[in-house]
C-alpha cells in the first residue's frame, strides 16, 4: 500500500468515503468507543474537576519544562538509566541504531509507540539491516500488511476481522478462520518466540515522573511487560512533553487516560520502571536507555496558544468523537497523528506548508474539546493555524489555490462591513438568482455556474441552496415591524 500524504487530504478523504468496508469498520468505532467512554467517565464523581487538575499539572510542567526534564534525567540516571537527547527524528533514530548495533542485535521487539512512528524508526532499522518486530497485536497486523496505524490507540481499527483473517492466510500461512482465538493464538505463538530471541526491546512512554525518574507504560496485552523485561537492553523513546512532576500526579492521569482512550477504568497492565535491576541475579534488562525526543516540540512550547498541544496524553478520544474522523478514518490525514489532534500537531511537526489542508479538515463543532481529558482547546488551535495559513497567503499571493479565497474574503470584508453595500448585495443577489431559482430554491448548479462560482457548485452537488427571501428582515422592519413597537 502506498502511504498517503497530508498535502492531498481532500483526495484521500474522497477515496476513503468511497470505501464501504472502511465505513463499516469506522461505524463500530463510533458506536463502541464513544459509548464505552461515556460509561467509564460517568463512574468518576468529579470528572470535570479531574480534567482541570490534569490540565493544571500539564500547564505547570510545560511552563517549567526545562526544570522538570533535568530533574527527571537526574533521577533516572541515579537509577542507572542512560539518558540521550535527540533534537529531531534523525538524531533519535541514529541513537537507537547505535545502541542496537552495540548490542549486536539483528532483530528487535517493539511495543506500540507513537513516538517511534513519528520518527519512522522501523524504516531506519530496516534500512540498516535490522528487523523490527511489532508486538502489539494491532501494530503487528499493520506491520504484516505493510501499512501505518490509522488510529493512535487502535492502530488497525480500519481493518475488519475478515480482512485480518485473509492477511494471516497470506503472511503467516494458516488456514482461513473466523475464530478470533485462533488468530490471536497464532500471533502469540509467533511473537513469544521473538521475545525469547530478542536482545533489544524498544518501547514508548506514557508518563515520565520527574520526582523519581520513573517511566510508566500502559497496555492490555502484556507485550510491553515482555518487551521491556526480557531482552538484555531496553530502549524507551519518549517525547519531552511526557514529563509530570510528581509520582502522586499519576493518580490523576491514570483515572483519565484509560477511561478516555478505551473506556476502561484501568488498563490490564501498568509497567512502572524505575532504574535498572539492583542485583545482577534479578530478572530484567542489564541496560535501560531513554531517548528524549524534541522533534519540533520546543517550537510548540514557545507560543502560549500552541503550547497546549503538548498537554496531549495521546488517548485518542478526540479521534473517536470527531465527525470528520468517523467519516474518513485515519489514513486520509496522511500523517502519523490523525484526527483533530493530528490536524493540530502535524502542521507544527512537519511544517505548515506540507499540511495546509489539515487545519481546515474540521467543522469546528468542538466535540474534540468536549471529550479531551486535558481540556485542549483544539478548535482554538485549528483557528490559530488557519490564521497562520491565511497570513501566509497574504505574503505569497502567487499561490493559486489560496488566492481566490483571499480575494473573496477581502471583498466580503469590504462589502459586508458597509450597510449600504450589504443591502445592495442582497438586492443584487435576489435579482440575479432569478436565473437559477426554481420553486424558491437553487437546485444542482449547472457546469457553467459551478465553474464561475466554485463554492456554489460544491454546495449544490449534494444540497439545494435557499433563495434570498422575497422580503429581507430590513424591508420588513421598515415596512411594519418598526412602527409596531408598543413600548
Partner 1 sequence: MVEVLRRVDCGVVFDERQTCCGQPAFNTGYRREAQKFAKRFIEIFEESDADAIVSPSGSCTAMVKHFYELFPDDEEWRKRSERIAARTHEFCSFLVNVLKVDDVGASSSGRITWHDACHGLRDLGLRDEPRRLLKNVKGTEFVELQNADVCCGFGGTFSVKFPEISAGILDNKIEAIEKANVDAIVSGDSSCLMQIGGRLSRIGSKVKTMHIAEILASQE
C-alpha span between 223 and 138 (Å, rounded): 12
**Residue 483 contacts partner 1 per CB under 8 A:** no
**Residue 406 contacts partner 1 per CB under 8 A:** yes
Q: Tell me the closest approach of the beta carbon of residue 400 to partner 1, in angstroms.
A: 15
Length of the chain: 487
Q: What is the full DSSP assignment across 85-116?
A: EESSHHHHHHHHHHHHHHTT-SEEEE---HHH
Tell how strand 437-438 and strand 441-442 pair up: antiparallel
Q: Interface with partner 1 by CB under 8 A: which range of 216-224, 255-263, 346-354, 355-363? A: 355-363
Q: Tell me the closest approach of the beta carbon of residue 87 to partner 1, in angstroms.
A: 30
The angle subtended at Cα 233 by Cα 232 and Cα 236, nearest 5°, is 145
Q: Which of 83, 105, 324, 341 binds partner 1 (CB under 8 A)?
A: 324
Q: Which of 123, 463, 471, 479 binds partner 1 (CB under 8 A)?
A: 463
Q: Tell me the closest approach of the beta carbon of residue 295 to partner 1, in angstroms.
A: 26
Q: Tell me the closest approach of the beta carbon of residue 479 to partner 1, in angstroms.
A: 12
Please report how the helices 180-197 and 161-171 are oriented relative to each other, as an axis angle in degrees rounded to 10: 50
Q: Which of 417, 434, 435, 438 binds partner 1 (CB under 8 A)?
A: 417
C-alpha distances (whole Å) from 232 to each of 124, 213, 270 are: 21, 20, 21
**Residue 441 contacts partner 1 per CB under 8 A:** yes
Q: Which of 44, 97, 465, 467 binds partner 1 (CB under 8 A)?
A: 465
**Residue 403 contacts partner 1 per CB under 8 A:** no
Q: Tell me the closest approach of the beta carbon of residue 324 to partner 1, in angstroms.
A: 6
CA 178 to chain centre: 31
Please classify residue 435 by burial: count the beta carbons closer than 10 Å to its beta carbon, then call 0-12 exposed, 13-18 middle and 19+ buried. Answer: exposed
What residues have CB less than 8 Å from 92, skipping those under 6 apart? 86, 119, 121, 237, 291, 293, 295
**Residue 428 contacts partner 1 per CB under 8 A:** no
**Residue 14 contacts partner 1 per CB under 8 A:** yes
Cβ-based nearer residue to partner 1, 224 or 300: 300
**Residue 449 contacts partner 1 per CB under 8 A:** no
Cβ-based nearer residue to partner 1, 28 or 418: 418
Q: What is the full DSSP assignment across 13-46?
A: HHHHHT-HHHHHHHHHHHHHHHHHHHHHHTTSTT
Answer yes or no: are the C-beta atoms of 204 and 112 closer than 8 Å: yes
Nearest C-alpha neighbor of 313 from the set 247, 241, 370, 238: 241
| H or E, element range at 384 | helix 378-395
Tell how strand 207-209 and strand 214-219 pair up: antiparallel
Cβ-based nearer residue to partner 1, 17 or 114: 17
Q: Which of 174, 383, 437, 467 binds partner 1 (CB under 8 A)?
A: 383
Q: Tell me the closest approach of the beta carbon of residue 257 to partner 1, in angstroms.
A: 23
Q: Interface with partner 1 by CB under 8 A: which range of 13-21, 151-159, 205-213, 222-230? A: 13-21
Q: Tell me the closest approach of the beta carbon of residue 64 to partner 1, in angstroms.
A: 23
Cβ-based nearer residue to partner 1, 185 or 413: 413
Site residues (vs partner 1, CB under 8 A) = 10, 13-14, 17, 323-324, 326-328, 359-367, 369-370, 380, 383, 385-391, 405-406, 409-410, 412-413, 416-419, 422, 441, 443, 454-455, 458-459, 461-466, 474, 477, 481-482, 484-487
Amino acid at each position: 500500500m502506498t502511504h498517503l500524504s497530508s498535502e492531498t487530504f481532500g483526495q484521500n478523504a474522497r477515496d476513503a468515503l468511497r470505501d464501504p468496508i472502511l465505513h463499516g469498520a469506522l461505524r463500530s468505532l463510533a458506536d463502541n468507543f464513544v459509548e464505552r467512554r461515556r460509561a467509564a467517565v460517568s463512574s468518576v464523581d468529579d470528572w470535570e474537576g479531574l480534567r482541570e487538575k490534569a490540565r493544571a499539572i500539564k500547564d505547570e510542567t510545560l511552563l517549567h519544562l526545562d526544570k522538570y526534564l533535568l530533574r527527571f534525567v537526574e533521577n533516572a540516571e541515579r537509577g542507572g538509566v542512560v539518558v540521550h537527547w535527540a533534537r529531531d527524528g534523525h538524531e533519535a533514530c541514529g541513537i537507537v541504531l547505535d545502541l542496537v548495533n552495540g548490542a549486536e542485535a539483528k532483530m528487535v521487539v517493539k511495543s506500540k509507540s507513537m513516538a517511534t512512528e513519528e520518527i519512522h524508526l522501523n524504516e531506519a532499522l530496516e534500512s540498516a539491516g535490522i528487523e523490527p518486530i511489532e508486538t502489539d497485536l494491532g501494530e503487528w497486523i499493520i506491520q504484516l500488511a505493510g501499512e501505518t496505524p490509522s488510529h493512535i490507540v487502535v492502530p488497525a481499527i480500519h481493518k475488519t476481522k475478515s480482512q485480518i483473517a485473509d492477511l494471516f492466510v497470506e503472511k503467516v500461512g494458516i488456514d482461513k478462520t473466523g475464530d478470533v482465538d485462533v488468530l490471536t493464538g497464532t500471533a502469540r505463538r509467533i511473537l513469544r518466540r521473538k521475545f525469547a530471541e530478542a536482545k533489544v526491546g524498544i518501547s514508548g512512554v506514557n508518563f515520565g515522573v520527574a520526582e523519581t525518574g520513573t517511566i510508566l507504560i500502559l497496555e492490555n496485552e502484556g507485550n510491553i511487560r515482555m518487551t521491556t523485561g526480557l531482552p538484555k537492553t531496553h530502549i524507551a523513546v519518549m517525547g519531552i512533553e511526557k514529563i509530570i512532576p510528581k509520582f502522586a500526579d499519576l493518580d490523576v492521569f491514570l483515572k483519565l487516560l484509560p477511561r478516555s482512550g478505551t473506556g476502561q477504568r484501568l488498563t490490564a497492565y501498568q509497567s512502572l520502571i524505575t532504574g535498572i535491576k539492583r542485583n545482577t541475579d534479578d530478572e530484567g534488562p542489564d541496560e535501560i536507555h531513554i531517548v528524549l525526543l524534541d522533534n519540533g516540540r520546543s517550537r510548540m512550547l514557545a507560543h502560549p496558544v500552541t503550547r497546549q498541544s503538548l498537554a496531549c496524553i495521546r488517548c485518542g478520544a478526540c479521534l473517536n468523537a470527531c465527525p470528520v474522523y468517523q467519516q474518513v478514518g485515519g489514513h486520509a490525514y496522511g500523517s502519523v497523528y490523525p484526527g483533530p489532534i493530528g490536524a493540530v500537531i502535524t502542521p507544527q511537526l512537519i511544517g505548515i506548508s506540507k499540511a495546509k489542508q489539515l487545519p481546515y479538515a474540521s467543522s469546528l463543532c468542538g466535540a474534540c474539546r468536549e471529550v479531551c481529558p486535558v481540556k485542549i482547546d483544539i478548535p482554538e488551535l485549528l483557528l490559530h493555524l488557519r490564521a497562520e495559513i491565511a497570513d501566509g497567503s497574504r505574503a505569497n499571493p502567487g499561490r493559486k489555490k489560496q488566492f481566490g479565497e483571499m480575494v473573496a474574503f477581502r471583498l466580503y470584508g469590504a462589502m459586508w462591513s458597509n450597510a449600504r453595500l450589504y443591502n445592495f448585495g442582497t438586492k443584487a443577489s435576489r435579482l440575479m438568482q432569478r436565473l437559477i431559482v426554481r420553486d424558491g430554491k437553487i437546485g444542482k448548479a449547472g457546469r457553467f455556474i459551478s465553474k464561475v462560482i466554485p463554492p456554489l457548485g460544491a454546495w449544490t452537488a449534494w444540497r439545494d441552496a435557499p433563495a434570498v427571501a422575497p422580503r429581507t428582515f430590513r424591508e420588513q422592519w421598515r415596512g411594519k415591524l418598526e412602527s409596531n413597537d408598543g413600548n
